[in-house]
A and B are shown apart, each in its own frame.
Chain A
Amino acid sequence: MAVAPQPDILKAPLVVEFPFTRSLGPVQAAFLSGLRHRTVLGVRTTDDRVLVPPVEYDPVTAAEIRDLVEVGDTGTVTTWAWNPAPRRGQPLDTPFAWVLVKLDGADTALLHALDATGPDAVHSGLRVRVRWAAERTGAITDIACFEPDDSTPEQIRPAPHTGEFEDGVTGIVAAARLDYTYSPGGAQSRYINALADNRTVGERCPSCRKVYVPPRGACPTCGVATTEQVEVGPAGTVTTYCIVNVKAKNLDIELPYVYAHIALDGADLALHGRIGGIPYDQVRMGLRVEPVWTEGGRYPDHYRPTGEPDADYDTYKELI
């Protein structure tokens, strides 16, 4: 019995990034189309308030609201926070204030950035004006930021607006990105490090005696830590599989290929791998296979037939 050593825990960056598309619907479409034309729109609620940015449904009554109005591009800071260290993707790359700005004619405040020389230059009640972006696409970034302004507040009743613009936008692309530091944890680090020596090492549950490959540090059935390391394989049995005819993104495998569940000898559940060295249409349940390692590869490149007779169904049916 080998007690699992404490490994160096692996870590690596994981970036999850998708360009989500968004259909805007009638109200947001009008708002963003307006920004493209240096026009800020709000929406009038059932109780006669003007919301900027506009929403589709009344926050008090839940009624559908569509009465768009045009508000000013000057306004008053209602509250703020200084941002001394701007991060990637923020409106300005020099220190700035996050501000809530109540535009003239609006009853609610819009969140944006204020270009100011320092926190001493910002206060609630500060008058500000929109700085329009030179290139405008129909996005909130068409407002580059706000800047201090010496205008006086206007007591205006905003005029109705049709919400119709030339070159109106109906959708946006919202890039979402999450930066993680990923760690597979101790058990998987041990597993991955052993793979570097072309060995597959699982861990046995002290209670049910099942051998987990890959190990995850605990038995999900018994809820106890797995501490005993067990080398399994190298050969195993194809328990089931499919033939993949769909190209995967960032995955350079020639189609078709066989994606198989492989129960390595000594393991109590199957791991997943690609089968090679045999025509795809000759792969079968029960096929005996062994790993094929490539120089520097973290995982077997694929598994190939050992040439042994197929395993009897009864010997692996509990592992499917």
Chain B
Amino acid sequence: MTNKEPVAIVGIGQTHHVAARRDVSIAGLVREAAQRALTDAELTWADIDAVVIGKAPDFFEGVMMPELYLADALGAVGKPMLRVHTAGSVGGSTALVAANLVAGRVHGTVLTLAFEKQSESNAMWGLSLPIPFQQPLLAGAGGFFAPHVRAYMRRTGAPDTVGSLVAYKDRRNALKNPYAHLHEHDVTLEKVQASPMLWDPIRYSETCPSSDGACAMILTDRAGAARSPKPPAWMLGGAMRSEPTLFAGKDFVSPQAGKDCAADVYRQAGIADPRREIDAVEMYVPFSWYEPMWLENLGFADEGGGWKLTESGVTELDGDLPVNMSGGVLSTNPIGASGMIRFAEAALQVRGQAGEHQVDGARKVLGHAYGGGSQFFSMWLVGAEPPTR
């Protein structure tokens, strides 16, 4: 029997993600998401006990101390405010740090927020610093991940068409999500397949965009949930795991840290068979092939079974296990916020608030984020009912 306080998600807010928000400062951007989360929860700044913020690595946008710069925009004066930092998974781990403050009864109601203005960042070159004595070989994240995609294809015999199917699905899902960045109304599978190879086997249309955006959530305890005017989402399990970028025996296709993280979440939530018991998944897929790869890593399919789920339509919005209902990272990628957008989408689904991309009867939904060289993982499982364990 656990002695943790149950954690409820009672407010969710995000910006309309776009390529460039030149009309607002970073303070104005985060404020917009935070205010929407407060409005959703019907709370005011005075109701917030603490603020937990996350963002992308500092070189990406040159903001070294967001907790200092953004304290007034986020109403943090006189309250604890802290920053979380785990590369691309940061949005997820930021939410989990906030959730742990509630679960540990440190605070009753916590605002958690993550953001990035990629239009004012240097993400690609921030990843490719000219380190002395090293041989520069690569341009950006795509070149780092493409060889692992090829390794997945070799290991599982996946046909080379699967990546395009994922991109085509996610871009269509994004058409139903007014907050998504890419709204490609004329998208076709043929167009995805005909887009140029950037880092073969990854095509242009199978990569994520660069977005400006922020996402915020209000997490609260049982008492806060009881006051919530709208149905809350409940955290049924949450976990983070890390491993080195490179080590002998590292499995980039299906990292052990990802498997362990999922297993911990399922143990907390009493999930024995994720494929049967979980209704939908919002996972971090910056390159389309990561959908089948993570389906296996997260235990929804055995090794080699992930691409078959994708290919057979199981992960479509009307499939048996919808994946990336929001349109995913492939349609929206303010890097620092991308993990939290996944977590927020999971919560929106179990609250029945996902609008046109709502999965009917979604009761348990997994939110997933990863970052660095496939080395930081954060996940939560949220449900429509409070935890019973």
Contacts from A to B (Cβ < 8 Å): 10, 12-14, 16, 18, 20-26, 28, 55-62, 64, 170-171, 174, 176, 182, 184, 188, 192, 205, 208, 210-212, 219-221, 239-251, 253, 256, 259-261, 268-269, 272-274, 285, 298-299, 313, 317-318, 320
Contacts and interface: CB of A to CB of B under 8 A. Distances in A.
A23 B150 contact: no
Nearest to B73: A57
A56 to B, nearest CB: 5
A171 B20 CA distance: 12
A56 B27 contact: yes
B132 A184 contact: yes
A164 to B, nearest CB: 16
A56 B75 CA distance: 12
A281 to B, nearest CB: 9
B62 A243 contact: no
A193 to B, nearest CB: 10
Interface in B237-253: 244, 246-253
Given A210-B249, A212-B248, A249-B128, A59 B139 contact: no
Contacts of A25: 23-25, 27-28
A60 B79 CA distance: 11
Given A18-B62, A64-B31, 17 more contacts: A20-B121, A24-B25, A57-B27, A62-B45, A62-B74, A170-B22, A188-B133, A211-B248, A240-B148, A240-B150, A242-B147, A244-B138, A248-B139, A260-B147, A261-B147, A285-B150, A298-B135
A299 B77 contact: no
Main secondary structure of the interface of B (DSSP, over half): loop
Given A210-B248, A249-B128, A20 B120 contact: yes
Interface in B18-72: 21-28, 31, 45, 59, 61-62, 71-72
A20 B58 CA distance: 11
Q: Which residue, of A18, A28, A268, has the highest number of chain B Cβ atoms within 10 A?
A: A18
15 contacts: A12-B132, A12-B133, A18-B62, A176-B62, A220-B247, A240-B148, A241-B150, A242-B199, A243-B200, A245-B196, A248-B138, A248-B139, A269-B248, A269-B249, A320-B155
B50 to A, nearest CB: 14
Contacts of A28: 25
Nearest to B148: A240
Nearest to A23: B22
Contact of A318 (B25, B154, B249): B249
A173 to B, nearest CB: 10
A268 B121 CA distance: 36
Contacts of A256: 200
Nearest to B200: A243
A60 B77 CA distance: 7
Contacts of B24: 23, 25
A18 B131 contact: no
A62 B128 contact: no
Contacts of A273: 135, 137
B198 interface: yes
A246 B140 contact: yes
Contact of B139 (A13, A247, A261): A247
Contact of B130 (A57, A62, A220, A250): A250
Contacts of A14: 129-132
Contacts of B31: 56-57, 64
B189 interface: no
A207 to B, nearest CB: 11
